[in-house]
Structure 1
Amino acid sequence: MLLIWMINIFYFNFIAGQNSQQCTTEKRCQCKKVESGLLADCSGLNLNSYPTFFDGIVTIDVSYNKLNDFPSTLDVPTTLKHLNISGNLLERIDTVKSRKLFSYINNLESLNLSSNFIPLDPQVYPKDIFMKLSKLKSLDLTRNILTQCEFRNLDNVINPLVSLEFFAIDGSQKISFGFGFQTLKFLKHLRLYGSCNENRLLTIKEDYFDNLSNLKTLDISSEIERNFTSMNWTTSLCSLFYIYRGAISKLSHLIYLDISYNRELGLCGFSNITQDLPFTQIRILRANYLHCNAGPSVTLLCEDIKPFINTSLEELYFDGNNIDFAQTGVLYYLPASLKRLTLKSNRWIQNRYTYCNTFGLTNLTFLDISDMNQHQISSDEQYVSCQDFFRIINCEKLRSSSFGTSLNPRVWEACIEQCLNPRTVENFYQQKKQDGVNNDTTNISYPLTCSTPISFATNVNMIFVPRNVEHIVMNNSRLGHTLTYTYFASSNLKSLILSHNQFYSLIGPICNATKLKYLDLSNNRCSHLSAYIFRELIAVEKLILDNNLIGSAQILKDKNIRDLFSMQLKLKELSLASNGIKFLPTEIFRNLKKIRHLNLSKNQLTDWNINIEHMRHLTYLDLSENQILFLSDTGMAFIDSSFSKKFAIDLSLNPIQCNCDSYSFIMWLIKRQEKFKKFKHYNCPLIKPNITDIPTANIYLKKKCSSYVSLIVLAINLIICFLAVLVIVIVYRRRWKLRYWYYIAKRQYFRGYNGVADENRYRFDAFISYADEDRLFVTKSVKTKLEEEASLRLCIHHRDFIPGCDIADNIINAIHQSRKVIFIITEAFLKSEWCMYEVHMAHTENVMSRQGINMLILVFKEEIPQKRIPQKIMQIVQEEVYIDFPDDIEDEEIFWNHLTDSLL
């Protein structure tokens, strides 16, 4: 079993490989494998002859190769199921090759003979030509030649195709669908192509589809859409003129109908079709462009769509029909089953019909009313001329008279009575006013919010749409000029497109759209934004503001710019391209933590100063086509903070500068080039010719700027070292003064600072500074003589210092609160760090705060060699009072008297 499997694999690879090589090399034909089998695709290669296709091929596409005959049975495998010979030079279908071919490939399921030169003539189509194609499901004969010969027996040719499901043929008035089509039980899809020809089908009568009762989809749209630029025809050669009432009603299984681009059909023909639709199972109706675009405006009457209410219509496409007005109540007849409605490219005038019964369309989720009033805009567009302008006027009069209503839009028609609530707008406003009565409106603050009663807000835009509408398209509808307080009647809105309008100012707020996920306000030339325009749009995930003038908006300079996107916590995509932005505040995107795509292309940014560190989900930042010469260190740091595995940035089409000033930026680009989209296309022209790409420029600059950069780095390091040494020297020399002022400042900040000019503010007459080894001398002698006998107030640290307070703070406080400071100089004093600290602090206090009054008294209790006395104490000895403690007891009395006098 394994051996057989290996032999089969070898055979397939070897034989198929040889044939594939032959197909691709010798015949210039592409052969490739697809899921359903093998595909031979030779379309558009201009073959001189058919290639030889190997066994196993199920699909052959030789379209647009200028072939003038069918392939030979020797070149086509029996396994073939799909054959496409469209766009060639075939002129007949009854050749010897074609007869053999259609007898040989009896497994064929689809055959495409469109866009050839085969006349739709009974002599060209013998009735046995498709006799063997009993498995054929799809046949396309469109875009061939319509002859003047009657071809009433087409059913005899098609009748053998018992499996046929899809049939496409050029619509001709010389062709009819005979009784034989009733045997084609599987024929569900018919396409009557709207070829532009003098023999084009112009009128469809009541019995035209009698033998096609099984049809589910019918496409009788015109060729006018596809040949619009050629202008080698008139409208009448393409368009249906009339469809009789009753023709469509025969198609009881019909689900899909397309009558678009029949520019001469008008609403008269449309009305006949709508009268038949209740007898079908219609779900989708396309009735676009039934009027020539240069024709007059028309009115949509209630009777035009009245039959819709008895259908299960789900999608209605009614674009480009020159409608400017509709009877009030016309929306009443749209069925509740309707899910999708497009009315774009008309000429709508806002009136009461806009609001009538929109709440009844409970299943409507998509509404497109874009491209309004485009006929008023002069352009180079080629208008399709009407064959008979007055015929449209006559049609309008006929419809008006037959329906018994007036075309005057100011007249209330009869169908207004059937509108559920013609006072919808008035009732809505009245309810809002009642709501506002219960509120205290005397203190209404601006800017407005959605909680502000509508009756007290000016310029309110009420958008009345069915309550379940999720998507609204109103682009290119000449709306404007200011988007003020806007209230949507539907709270389920998910996407709103208002691009290509004239909203020069976006004020807002936009209310009752808390589920809105997609908002497009691009191409409005908006130059004014309020900080609260998006405040209520808390669910927005994609916001497009391209092609405006936001760069000149005052809000970019205001302090409340932080609030512009403050509520868009779910925003994933933001586009601000083509807005002339030169600068953005650093924190403008501070709340966009879930943003993935940020587009700022085609602006005038010269650097990047936006903090994006919080954007952990950011995968793409587009800064292309700005004015960035190079990024600053800050800009590179901001972007570095967001680099992740999936992050990519586009700096293409910026005038990147290559010189020594931008060398660090160039190295940054090279180091992270895998993160830059289109990096191979980045260029920065140098003075030296033939160097434009970044990698080559980097090599050149590395040689040119290396010494320059090293010199700058060395100079900067030397300057930094010099400044550091200078600061250290200054601090060291002034360390005691710095300490002193630190504690003084600390005292002033926490406890208040008392000046020394007032003698009454001194708490002590003297602060005794001594070493612990001399405590007995201080407590027995100094304390007795000065405090007890002379009645002086002394500060002794082991007695008067405040417990729990820093020693340094206690020392500063004691010095500051004493009129004099007495130092008991001994060997132990000189060795004590705190004693020397007291010397420095007291000297600083004497110099800085005592206004020239001497406060220092040195008492040398012991004989100390001069060389061992510190410089600071020697300086005090030279400037201040010092006393030697006597060796003889007899002299002590003189010493104490002298010391007491110094204190007093």
Structure 2
Amino acid sequence: MFRDIKKEIQSLNSRFESFREEFMDEQIRLKEENKELKTKLERLEVKFDRYEAQSRRNNIIIHGLEGVAGESWDDTEKLARDFMNDGSSLKPVGTTRRVPHPGRNAGTYRAAQGVHELHEVLENQPMSHKVGHSGGSHFEKGLQNVPTCLPRNTTTLLLSHNKLKLPNQAFVNVSFLKVLDLSFNDLKYLNANSFYELSELESLNLESNYLNYDNDTLPPTLFNPLSSLLKLSINNNSKGSPYPDATTLKPMPFLYYLDLSNNKLQRLSTDTTNELDKFPNVTVSLRGNPIQCSCRALDFLRWMNANQNKFSGLSEMACEYDNGSSISMTKLHQIVEELTSECSRANAALGIVTASSCVCIVLIICIALGYRHRWSIRYMYYIGRRRFWRQHPVEEVLQYQYDVFVSYAESDRHIVIQEMIPELETKAGLRMCIHHRDFLPGEAIASNIVNAIDKSRKTLIVLSPAFLKSDWCVFEYHIALQSRVNRRQDNLLILMYQHVPVKDMPREMAVLLSNNSYLEYNTDVYGRDAFWQNLVESVKTAQPLE
């Protein structure tokens, strides 16, 4: 047993020695690799310094409106000559055109092609009178146009604190720009092609201008040339809330920083947030904006909550309610939950109100149509009731049980009893339907009226002032009108028993009397026979409705 243990210990010692030798070899190898990496890093640093020096020669800084006095002219000349490293000397161009010390925000130019170009640029720019501060000067108005004689290989152009106006293709002569600063220039509008041919631009600063567009959206093709842009600053615009929408963002696939802080933005549109989702590493700054805490902004707040890693300074932001109160964006999750619940109730209430409104509108339309066609509806109702409830065949209706149904007011009853019955039934042999004699007992009056008109070849209206005052007479008239339309026959006769002014007639009756012949009651001895003869002929004659 002890021999086995001893052998096991020896085996373990052998394996340990083997592992130790391998570890030492690996440590020696790593030291050698580390030494090689240090050597490569030193070489890269040397290259970087060279590139940085070359890049610095391609920088141009033109600060204007808020410049301060610089150093003496000799210091400026020496610094410019050392910086340009081309042996040129900077010639003074008058006391009102001296160039202050670079970096003092007061009109400094750095050009890769030599300081002699500085003289040419300054000669072509409007400047103000001398301002005496330590022997220097500055521009009270600043540049109003982008200089046209800048070196083509310029990579950095700082034009802040001027009064620039950017036309189309304003930077076409410096197409190698990588950094462009247009801050503090009082820019109100940018033309759609202002940045034409700046495909290598990586940083664009539009801070502290007065950009103001309809609907707060920038021109859709404004950033189309900027395919290499990495950083875009459109912050501190006091006049409006311009922001790049989905169309404007598409041409910038490498964008990683978007500064929209201190504007008047209340929310971003859904199209814009959907486009920002395509930039996985983008950082957005919305600090200082009055972000809405309302149902209108709920979709945007939900997007913010799901993409908090995209926002810079979220803890410094606040969300503003409609009542003027605000809440920190650190409670964004809570804000979204509360608004979701509140908006759900509001949407439900809105849905109920909308549905109720639709129902009311439909009901009002139905009532209006029903009132307009009330006589047609009532006529069709009673016709259907008679045919289907009593199960009368349709063929019986076409045989007409009566030749004429007489519609009259109760006060005009004597003409029907004393004159019409003897003349039309006794002498002429016509079958008359008279309500006090022929209506079916126990049946509804309206149903009796519809049945009588439907079973009669003609309907005779005994028109008088008393007729128009009777509701049942007016009902009989409208049912007869509807029967006239349905049959497509001129089956309505009007007997003007007593004069009725046109203004007292229903509109349909006035139109009917103006377009059709009617009979007038004649009590004259010589005209009486002709009157009754014409009435009998009218009852017997069937004419199609024109």
Given the two structures, how large is their TM-score scaled by the length of structure 1? 0.23
Which protein has greater RCO, CA pairs closer than 8 Å, 6+ apart?
Answer: 2
What is the TM-score when the length of structure 2 is the normalising length?
Answer: 0.37
Greater share of residues in helix: 2
Structure that is richer in strand per residue: 1
